[in-house]
Amino acid sequence: MNGTTTQNRLSIGQKMLMIAVWLGVLGVLALLVAFAPNGEDSPVIALLMIVLIIVAFVATFRITTRANGKSYVRITSTEGVRGEFSVGRVWPAIGGYLVGMLTMVCIMGLLEEAPGSRLMWGWALTAIIPLSIYGLLLLRVRGRVTAFRVEDDGSLSTRRANAEWKPFRITDYGRVVGRVMTGRGVSSPSQVDFLDPVAGQRTVRIPLMLIRSREYKTATPGIFINDFFRDQCQQAGYRVQPKGKGWVGMGKK
């Protein structure tokens, strides 16, 4: 299929070999640090440690560039954007981790306090409040698009959480915005927003950080999804122009 490439994963043997190389190098480094004599031999020991690390990196590079495991397909251009894609969101995962860590700290505090004490109730409230806020935020995510599908003819459909697939027409939206996140001199597409919907439709926001092809079972770079929707806007007759680092498509009025 155009717009895709087939590559091989590392085989189990190659993974085990890479682990063995690094374990061996780390083991030798640990022995050198523990038993190396101080004095004139120190520069020689330091040079030996550097050589061992370089050998480990070279071996890793040679193994990874000669993968001979199972093959998989990756999307490499907008032409390959076909099939079903899942839409993941970063902040629920990060928020869940932070709330989980805070809850564990609160539980440890509860166990250390005397039953019925004020500090015990304080720990309990400290755990309940962030959990409640996080739960309310998750309820909002339930109404968001969790997957979209692109047919061979280019037609689109979307699915929200716990809902059925519904046809998706770009022309139902008056404005489409492709947003770009910039940090440390690097720019990457972060989200595509379909705004100003016609009556009966809802605003659609598709984050591009965690897009995964369900057909190929591989992650899809957000740049290809971003460019695909931009091309779809142009084909639909939208006036597409740059906006900051991203772009905006204006529908016909």
pLDDT one-digit tens code per residue, 180-239: 877 666 668 888 999 999 888 888 888 888 899 998 889 898 899 999 999 999 999 999
pLDDT band at 97, cuts 50/70/90? low
The predicted structure's pLDDT at residue 7: 84
Q: Which of 76, 71, 64, 67 is nearest to 220 (CA)?
A: 76
The predicted structure's pLDDT at residue 142: 56
User: What is the rounded distance in angstroms from the CA atom of residue 240 to the CA atom of residue 232?
Assistant: 10
Instruction: Supply the range of the domain harboring residue 41.
Output: 4-73
162 occurs within a structural domain: yes
Give the up-direction half-sphere exposure of residue 121: CA atoms within 13 A in the CB hemisphere: 3
80 occurs within a structural domain: no
Shared domain for 216 and 176, answered yes or no, is yes
pLDDT band at 169, cuts 50/70/90? very high
82 occurs within a structural domain: no
Shared domain for 134 and 154, answered yes or no, is no
CB 207 within 8 A of CB 89: yes
Shared domain for 161 and 244, answered yes or no, is yes
Residue 159 bridge partners (DSSP): 147
79 occurs within a structural domain: no
Shared domain for 130 and 212, answered yes or no, is no
Quick check: 24 pLDDT over 80?
yes
Quote the tokens at residue 169: 């027409």
107 occurs within a structural domain: yes
pTM of the model: 0.68
Shared domain for 195 and 235, answered yes or no, is yes
Shared domain for 227 and 246, answered yes or no, is yes
The predicted structure's pLDDT at residue 251: 81
78 occurs within a structural domain: no
Shared domain for 58 and 121, answered yes or no, is no
Q: For Cα atoms 144, 146, 152, give the angle at the middle one, nearest 5 degrees.
A: 125
The H-or-E segment that residue 31 falls in is: helix 12-35
Q: CB atoms < 10 A from the CB of 203, how many?
A: 11
Q: What is the mean pLDDT of the chain?
A: 82
Q: Which of 30, 81, 96, 47 is nearest to 192 (CA)?
A: 81
**For 67, which DSSP code?**
-
Shared domain for 151 and 132, answered yes or no, is no
**For 69, which DSSP code?**
S
124 occurs within a structural domain: yes
User: What is the rounded distance in angstroms from the CA atom of residue 170 to the CA atom of residue 241?
Assistant: 16
197 occurs within a structural domain: yes
Our count of domains for the chain comes to 3
Give the model confidence (pLDDT) of 128-167 as tens digits.
Answer: 777 777 666 655 555 577 899 999 888 899 988 778 899 9
Shared domain for 153 and 246, answered yes or no, is yes
